[in-house]
């Protein structure tokens, strides 16, 4: 339990650095986890070389879903979009420093799913994006 | 009989387990599914060890025994809800399938475009979606009895809706989130006066207090075995004989027929008309054993015990700063306490409690519209049954203080 609710996660949940909505933006996507009702919307700005310059998320949900969104966006600032497209499950789990069971994994991976669906310009966010 | 909760707990093997070494289980999720006493597990085990055979058609000893056990369980269930005859007890997979049976068989025969079905805002998805599907398919109209801020049904609004001559009033006898025990007899009486057929979702009521279908004068009652100490995979639709007899079959196949020709069939009599294919036989046997078990303890004793535990839980939860409880006060409430804790998502609450072996549920509990009404995405829910104790409530309260410390 102490692992799951490490200070870093509580801190990012309570005082997120990347909460907000970028208007205008270059990329945007929103999705929910139907089981929990966690909801995340991500907006991105990129520069001429297609590197991420700014990122923001809004929504609601458990500490794991919200902290993972904040950590994820913090980690992609300056990264090329091409690299963002190839981020995977392990990347998020490394950011969180956690090993999660199947139920909470969905909470942790919602933000990555939303991010990738937005960057790929998809109409929906299938689970296959983060498997 | 004095109610000895320690003795009752000894009947449930799972309550002895530790969630992790040194961390005993506090199971506060019986509204989702109840734990099973040894007599139920043993009845199913015995069935598979000694009597397993397919039912109704065989003439050998095992087939005779299996049929007698399967039909004997039906008699026990009928008695449990005071049904006039066992043939009015139709086996289904669960409450959801029972409601769908009414929607497919009765409603598709009797409802046409524009006909009104009255539901309530506190329904489980199982008593919403079948009617949404019929609304799309057939153009029936849906109206909802609203839920007041205190979690009660607005009966004045209901009486207004009845002026529109509904064909069906379908409602839950007890909310799985708010715990509200609805005045079912009164709702049914008013519906009957207005000429409507009634369906009661008894998933949460039948396990927790005595439900008498004849006293209620209800047309259909749906409930599940697994919430009343029985196995998963089996439920019941009770119906008035005249209605069931007039209804077309639901699923087609073996057992539901009297006679089959290459191009036609004649349906079987009740209850078999609605039971196509090999049913859940061992589960029926377990269901019968669960009815025997609950009857031996006494439904009134169970209801009184749950009332005491729930009253204690509400008191203790209310003293925690930041806890907000949903639903009515104890006088209208069954053994359910749904709550939120300021600043902490219900999933985090449930996860941290799990660390101390306390099992509560978090989410919208298959009642999303009800949560939207109260403007919350989710709640945590502790629920109680005959084996719940005040010590478990104390552990829950201690656990919530720990959650507050984490998120402090």
Using alpha carbons, list the distances in angstroms from residue A112 to A54, A96, B129, B139, B166.
16, 13, 31, 41, 48
Q: Do B352 and A64 touch (CB under 8 A)?
A: no
Task: Please state the separation of Cα B37 from the chain's center in Å.
Answer: 18
Residue B112 forms beta bridges with which residues? Answer: none
- Domain extent, residue A58, equals 7-119
The pair of structure tokens assigned to B372 is 């939207």
State the Cα–Cα distance between residues B295 and B105, nearest whole angstrom. Answer: 32
pLDDT tens per residue, range A32-60:
887 667 899 999 999 999 999 999 999 99
- Residue A56: inside a domain: yes
- Asked whether residue A130 is domain-assigned, the answer is no
Query: Would B35 be classed as within a structural domain?
Result: no
pLDDT at B384 over 90: yes
Scanning the structure block, which residue is given the tokens 């026990």?
B76
Write the pLDDT tens digit of every residue in B31-55: 999 999 999 999 999 999 999 999 9
In a domain, A128, yes or no: no
Of B32-36, B354-358, B365-369, the one with minimum mean pLDDT is B365-369
Mark which of B296, B319, B345 sits at the end of a domain: B296
Which residues of chain B are within 8 Å of residue A36 when distances are taken between CB atoms?
Answer: 347, 362-363, 378
- Residue B383's nearest CA partner among B328, B323, B339, B332 is B339
pLDDT, residue A114, reads 95
Name B224's bridge partners.
Answer: B235
Instruction: For residue B39, count CB atoms less than 10 angstroms from its CB and return exposed for 0-12, middle for 13-18, buried for 19 or more.
Output: middle
The reply to whether B134 and B263 lie within a common domain is: yes
B363/A37 Cβ within 8 A = yes
Backbone Cα Rg of chain A: 13
The number of folded domains in chain B is 2
Q: Which residues pair with B120 in a beta bridge?
A: B145
* Partner-chain contact A107 B347, CB within 8 Å: yes
Q: Are strands B116-120 and B141-145 parallel, antiparallel or unpaired?
A: parallel
Q: CA B56, B60, B62 angle in degrees (round to 5)? A: 80
Tokens 């994006």 belong to residue? A129
Is the pLDDT confidence value at B185 over 80?
yes
**Of B242, B266, B296, which residue is a domain's last?**
B296
CATH number at A36 reads 3.90.1010.10
More confident residue, A121 or B300: B300
Structure tokens at B303: 């209801």
Residue B23 — φ and ψ, nearest 5°? Answer: -115, 100
For position A2, what pLDDT does the model report? Answer: 60
Same domain, B212 and B236: yes
- Total count of residues recorded for chain B: 408
- Binning pLDDT at 50, 70 and 90, where does residue A130 land? confident
Six-digit token pair at A114?
């939303």
Last residue of a domain, one of B261, B296, B331: B296
Residue-number span of the structural domain to which B89 is assigned: 41-296
Taking the CA atoms of residue B198, residue B202, residue B208 and residue B214 in that order, the dihedral angle to the nearest 10 degrees is 40
Quote the pTM value. 0.92
All residues of chain B having their beta carbon less than 8 Å from the beta carbon of residue A104 are 347, 351
A62 Cα to chain B: minimum distance (Å): 5
Residues 6+ apart with CB under 8 A from B119: B127, B128, B131, B142, B143, B144, B145, B170, B171
Count up the domains in chain A and report the number. Answer: 1
Cβ-Cβ contacts under 8 Å, B351 against chain A: 1, 4-5, 62, 104
């Amino acid at each position: 339990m102490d692992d799951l609710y490490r200070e870093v996660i509580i801190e990012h949940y309570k005082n997120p650095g990347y909460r907000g909505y970028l208007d205008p933006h270059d990329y945007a996507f929103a999705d929910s986890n139907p089981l929990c009702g966690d909801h995340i919307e991500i907006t991105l700005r990129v520069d001429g070389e297609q590197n991420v310059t700014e990122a923001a998320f809004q929504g609601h949900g458990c500490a794991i879903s919200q902290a993972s969104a904040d950590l994820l966006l913090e980690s992609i600032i300056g990264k090329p979009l091409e690299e963002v497209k190839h981020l995977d499950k392990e990347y998020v789990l490394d950011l969180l420093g956690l090993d999660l069971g199947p139920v909470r994994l969905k909470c942790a991976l919602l933000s990555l799913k939303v991010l990738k669906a937005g960057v790929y310009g998809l109409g929906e966010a299938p689970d296959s994006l983060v498997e | 009989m004095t109610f000895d909760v320690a003795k009752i707990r000894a009947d449930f093997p799972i309550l002895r387990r530790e969630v992790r070494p040194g961390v005993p289980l506090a199971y506060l999720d019986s509204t989702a599914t109840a734990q099973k006493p040894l007599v139920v597990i043993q009845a199913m085990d015995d069935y598979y060890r000694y009597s397993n055979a397919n039912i109704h058609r065989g003439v050998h000893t095992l087939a005779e025994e299996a049929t007698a056990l399967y039909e004997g369980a039906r008699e026990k269930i009928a008695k449990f809800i005071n049904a006039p005859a066992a043939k009015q007890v139709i086996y289904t997979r669960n409450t959801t399938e029972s409601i769908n049976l009414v929607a497919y068989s009765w409603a598709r025969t009797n409802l046409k475009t524009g006909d009104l079905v009255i539901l309530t805002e506190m329904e489980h998805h199982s008593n919403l979606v079948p009617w949404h599907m019929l609304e799309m398919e057939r153009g029936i109209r849906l109206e909802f009895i609203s839920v007041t801020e205190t979690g009660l049904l607005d009966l004045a609004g209901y009486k207004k809706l009845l002026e529109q001559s509904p064909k069906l009033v379908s409602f839950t006898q007890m909310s799985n989130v708010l715990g509200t025990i609805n005045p079912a007899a009164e709702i049914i009486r008013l519906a009957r006066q207005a000429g409507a057929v009634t369906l009661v979702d008894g998933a949460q009521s039948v396990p927790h207090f005595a439900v008498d279908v004849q006293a209620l004068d209800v047309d259909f009652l749906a409930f599940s075995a697994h919430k009343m100490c029985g196995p998963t995979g089996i439920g019941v639709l009770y119906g008035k004989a005249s209605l069931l007899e007039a209804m077309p079959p639901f699923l087609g196949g073996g057992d539901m027929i009297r006679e089959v020709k290459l191009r036609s069939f004649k349906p079987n009599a009740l209850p078999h008309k609605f039971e196509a294919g090999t049913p859940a036989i061992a589960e029926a046997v377990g269901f019968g054993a669960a009815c025997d078990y609950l009857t031996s303890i006494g439904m009134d004793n169970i209801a009184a015990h749950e009332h005491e535990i729930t009253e204690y839980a509400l008191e203790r939860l209310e003293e925690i700063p930041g806890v907000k409880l949903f639903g009515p006060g104890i006088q209208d409430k069954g053994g359910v306490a749904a709550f939120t804790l300021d600043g902490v998502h219900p999933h985090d609450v449930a996860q941290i409690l799990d660390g101390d072996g306390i099992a509560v549920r978090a989410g919208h509990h298959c009642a999303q519209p009800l949560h939207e009404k109260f403007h919350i995405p989710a709640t945590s829910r502790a629920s109680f049954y005959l084996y719940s104790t005040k010590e478990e409530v104390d552990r829950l309260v201690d656990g919530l203080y720990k959650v507050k410390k984490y998120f402090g």
